[in-house]
Structure 1
């Protein structure tokens, strides 16, 4: 009997140890469900991810959010934004971007997938007092409701420059614009030359812009390829200004036929205290052929001695647990 009990103890210890080991990494995907275009942020010592609900356009009428204290355990916050709170948005709620300003949270989103200036929709802004919402329409109409420089008004990213100026960087259809945001995020402010939209499209750009600053340099990232295909990917450029010029350096995120395809439309998390960098992105499992079957994943992002981004290794394991406090 003692030997049997000892055997059971060993087995139970091994099982619990396996679970403990498993719980020390995020795993990929980081949460269940079909989600794409993840926008990541850090608020109140928590990691946040705001993705697109990946479904047919007419079913994309809300946004969920997810929060975590350690990158491993994620809590779902359903319907932080719903079209019921945005009267002009009817479908295709896409690619949220979020910033905290003056103790309020501003969620920028694309809606209605407009194909011309004759259609209603574009890029909107919602606001809430908490990261988990609920968010309500901030303007009552789109912030950007038409095509400029050939850019479809989707895939917005909001960037705060070192001088405190906020910019919106956006665009589909292989064109990318940058514009200055007003202090209240309700309008756009023309540049000194009188123009409102400046095109900064780099070579290979398709959609999904993202920008961050590291060591005084502006890293501009974007997605290339078709979002339903296996070769969707992320490339980048570096410049001395948010206006560029941005000369393409190369791809840093792409499919691994042994793990997943369609790896793209990303955002970046920077743990400033420990100087750790992560890339949050979507990809398609090898078992899936439906274009909407995309999952949100996370992997380590790093730099070489010259400040260039090293190619990201996409994994099934994800990243190690890492708290912000």
Structure 2
């Protein structure tokens, strides 16, 4: 089901949050000249049994696409559907997700993948089991991100202060070992906690993540840079932090680049002032800028959000 909803000051600016409801861990992406956001439904774990998605042509008017995937379509997933990541390949849309919040290799869960014929789904389980169901290199199998570099697709993921990278095979049913025979390489940068994201700009690989505790006031986003998606990564610093005048708990982000206009956006969640429930998180968007040397400038959180802008080819 699709439902058109409006943001604050929708005529000129997106407003923050960009849509109503408790949503976190937003994955932002452009498909078919539309902006899409795929967030976690922020609720107690037992209630996190589905994903909604949101689409917009101009960042100000958003349409909710309800229950694009739920546990009824994934038999092994029971709770804690987290942090969707999506990629298009060959006319199909692949949605990667975490489920069940497993705490050991003896539990069922981890990172799954679903597939659909359109960005709004409905999605169905792609392989009938988790794609990653073990703690490799100490990384909890959550917080997945898929990065396309040329013709290669990488799965980058990990909680519990460890981050792995692995090469996906052609149909996203498994992995291709690296030249040394390993499947999961640890690329954990300094102070990493969770929520990895990667993009490439001017020949450099920018690796971003969240640090601090997601339930605490000091959740924030930092980044590092390398010459390869495998690192080694040089930490540059923190670029999104709490603002006592705006919100706390700002983190678990993604980045959208409207290449036709060279506009960069950071999509993230934050906890409104006065909210103490750990699940009281909202999805927001602000501009992201670089200096002449390519460093990411500190992001200023706003209530206004970003100016209306359509995708330019």
- Superposed pair shares fold, TM > 0.5: yes
1:111 aligns with 2:94: no
Output aligned runs, 1:40-119, within 5 Å.
Answer: 40-119=28-107
Larger radius of gyration: 1
Give the 3 Å change call, closer, same or farther, for CA 20–229 of structure 1 in structure 2. Answer: closer
Contact 2:8–2:15, Cα closer than 8 Å, also in 1 = no
Once superposed, what is the RMSD of the aligned Cα atoms?
Answer: 1.1
| CA deviation string 1:257-285 (max 9, x = no partner) | 00100000000000000000000000000
What is the alpha-carbon distance in structure 2 between the residues aligned to residue 184 and residue 235 of structure 1?
A: 32
Give the CA deviation at 1:171: 0.1
1:203 aligns with 2:190: yes
Give the CA deviation at 1:32: 0.2
1:220 aligns with 2:207: yes
Give the 3 Å change call, closer, same or farther, for CA 315–188 of structure 1 in structure 2. Answer: same
Match of 1:28 among 16, 35, 48: 16
| CA deviation string 1:190-244 (max 9, x = no partner) | 1111000100000100000000000110000000000011100000000000000
TM-score by length of 1: 0.93
1:312 counterpart residue number? 299
1:236 counterpart residue number? 223
Give the 3 Å change call, closer, same or farther, for CA 20–208 of structure 1 in structure 2. Answer: closer
Give the CA deviation at 1:25: 0.2
1:121 counterpart residue number? 109
Give the CA deviation at 1:287: 2.0
What is the alpha-carbon distance in structure 1 between the residues aligned to residue 90 and residue 133 of structure 2?
A: 26
What is the alpha-carbon distance in structure 2 between the residues aligned to residue 20 and residue 239 of structure 1?
A: 38
2:309 counterpart residue number? 322
What is the alpha-carbon distance in structure 1 between the residues aligned to residue 241 and residue 67 of structure 2?
A: 30
Match of 1:261 among 248, 253, 264: 248
Match of 1:154 among 139, 142, 145: 142
What is the alpha-carbon distance in structure 2 between the residues aligned to residue 277 and residue 194 of structure 1?
A: 37
What is the alpha-carbon distance in structure 2 between the residues aligned to residue 176 and residue 158 of structure 1?
A: 13
Give the CA deviation at 1:21: 6.4
Give the CA deviation at 1:22: 5.4
Give the CA deviation at 1:20: 11
What is the alpha-carbon distance in structure 2 between the residues aligned to residue 21 and residue 82 of structure 1?
A: 32
Q: Which runs of 5+ in 2 are unaligned?
A: 1-6
Give the 3 Å change call, closer, same or farther, for CA 187–32 of structure 1 in structure 2. Answer: same
1:39 aligns with 2:27: yes
What is the alpha-carbon distance in structure 1 between the residues aligned to residue 217 and residue 104 of structure 2?
A: 28
- The structure whose residues are more often helix, as a share, is 1
TM-score by length of 2: 0.97
- The structure whose residues are more often strand, as a share, is 2
What is the alpha-carbon distance in structure 2 between the residues aligned to residue 154 and residue 51 of structure 1?
A: 14
1:139 counterpart residue number? 127
Count of aligned residue pairs for this structure pair: 306
What is the alpha-carbon distance in structure 1 between the residues aligned to residue 298 and residue 311 of structure 2?
A: 25
Give the CA deviation at 1:23: 1.9
What is the alpha-carbon distance in structure 2 between the residues aligned to residue 30 and residue 49 of structure 1?
A: 10
Q: Which runs of 5+ in 1 are unaligned?
A: 1-18
2:280 counterpart residue number? 293
